[in-house]
Amino acid sequence: MKSMLIRTIVTIVSFVFVFLQASVANAADCDRGARVAADLFRAADGHARERNCVDRPVHIQRRRPGRSAVERILGRARYAGCNVYKTIGGFSAAMHASWNEFADDNWATIGPRKLEFDTLQSGTVVNPTRRTFVSAIPLESDYAKITLTKRGGRSTTQIAVCSHGPDGDTRVEHSTIITGDRPDGYQWSPPELEGMLDRLISIQIQPTSAARQLGYVLQVNKGPLVEPVEEEQPSSSPPAEEPSADNISLPGGPTQGVQLPTSPVSLPGSESSSGGPTPGASDSVPAATGSVPADASAAAGQCLVTTTRRFPEIKLRCGLSVRDESARISEDFLADCPLIAGDTVNVEIDEQQREIRITGRASGSEWCSTSYPPGYYTGPCFSERTDASTTRTLTYFYQGRKIIETVTPQTCDPARLEPGTYRVITETRVNNPDQRSKLEIQEAGLRLEGDEMIGDVTGLLSEPITQK
């Protein structure tokens, strides 16, 4: 009886020990993958915008809640359409090139390995090092299946499988501990990963015992890929609403007959005014063309910039028109003091061709005459999930069409900015499964000058662009 009690106690202690180890794996082992994913999503956003393939409609192979069978449903993919539409090329190659650039510069202390799909990857991990695999391209499938096979070594090893979303959210999908007494050939194959569309997957392998090493063979297979939609159809998952005068926060007030809301916060250089010369304005360089509504001739030669989010394509509001017009500007136009939402521009109208040409900025460049030191800057950063909706706020620092840095709600870490001129765009996206999603945009300009990076300068800039 006494020996049975002792064996029971030992069994319970062993179980608790393994359980605590598993809890550590659950809590702490997505950090490296999350850092890599943040850089990759920043690159993906830039590459997708260049190819105009963000939020493309696709057919998704997905299980509806409460059903086991996979159904083909219509939805939208933030990045997956960049790979499956035949008319869009180069996205995968661009992402692999970005991986190589980051691996040389940003990830020296992480040393991640690229997670390849539908193939075998093998190796040996030696304690105290850990091996981190991260996929290079947002997944074009809603599912993935992982199998890890032991091939030699006697170290007890922690395994963590995580997924990372484009808005900075990270999930621990599965974790386990493979004890050192497991035989060669032992396989760990957790349940299929679900909800993986547009996410990145990371896998961490970390030996923890004095036996030092574990040999492994890793295989990750994708589920059915999304398929392109040849013709636009109503989506079962409503797309995010495009920015317009009704959901863009713009400085100033009534402009050219269109009543626009005042920005709820003060941005450096966001105040609009009319009159007086402005830095960077040009009266001779043609910058943009676009279709003109029938009543645009009433604009008296000026239009309002409503967003530059898809630069070099911008949105203009002209005359008494109640809708925005798209126009494409040359990338070097006003490069030293770029256009931002809230600026007004001088235009020429070609009545015969029904086209509009931007000839220069009329007002709104006051921010260009104020400079700040280079350093660490942050912007609005927020994440909230309720039963009714999900809200995420990110801030992007652009130069031209390239995203230089991003402040994400995953960590809200400040961005390290070198000297230069930046367009700062804050996006607040509210996703509601029962209603049309909403996207709110704020824009500002920021000029940094100086030879030395500075540290904390409290209150140097007003919200939502602040320095840390």
Q: Three-class SS string for 194-225? A: ECCCCCEEEEEEEECCCCCEEEEEEEEEECCE
SS3 (DSSP) at 445: strand
Considering just the CA atoms, what is the radius of gyration of the chain in Å?
A: 26
Q: Report the alpha-carbon distance of residue 299 to residue 234 in Å, rounded.
A: 35
Give the residue ranges of the chain where pLDDT is below 70: 1-29, 64-70, 108-109, 230-300, 319-322, 350-355, 410, 433-436, 452-468
Pull the structure tokens for residue 450.
């100086």
SS3 (DSSP) at 268: coil
> What is the reported pLDDT for 353?
58
205-247 per-position pLDDT tens digit: 999 887 788 999 999 999 888 888 864 333 444 455 555 444 4
pTM reported for the whole predicted model: 0.50
Pull the structure tokens for residue 87.
């008319």
Give the closest residue to 414 by CA, choosing from 379, 378, 448.
378
274-289 per-position pLDDT tens digit: 233 333 333 333 344 4
The total of other beta-carbon atoms located within 10 Å of residue 34's CB is 19
Strand pairing class (415-417; 402-407): unpaired
Q: Report the alpha-carbon distance of residue 312 to residue 352 in Å, rounded.
A: 25
Q: What angle do CA 135, 186, 148 make, to 5 degrees?
A: 5
> What is the reported pLDDT for 246?
42
Q: Report the alpha-carbon distance of residue 176 to residue 18 in Å, rounded.
A: 9
**Domain 27-228 class in CATH:** mainly beta
> What is the reported pLDDT for 454?
57
Q: Report the alpha-carbon distance of residue 330 to residue 189 in Å, rounded.
A: 52
First to last CA, the chain: 65
SS3 (DSSP) at 151: strand
- Cα 364 to its chain centre, rounded Å, is 28
Pull the structure tokens for residue 291.
């279709």
The total of other beta-carbon atoms located within 10 Å of residue 174's CB is 18
Give the closest residue to 422 by CA, choosing from 267, 277, 281, 250.
267
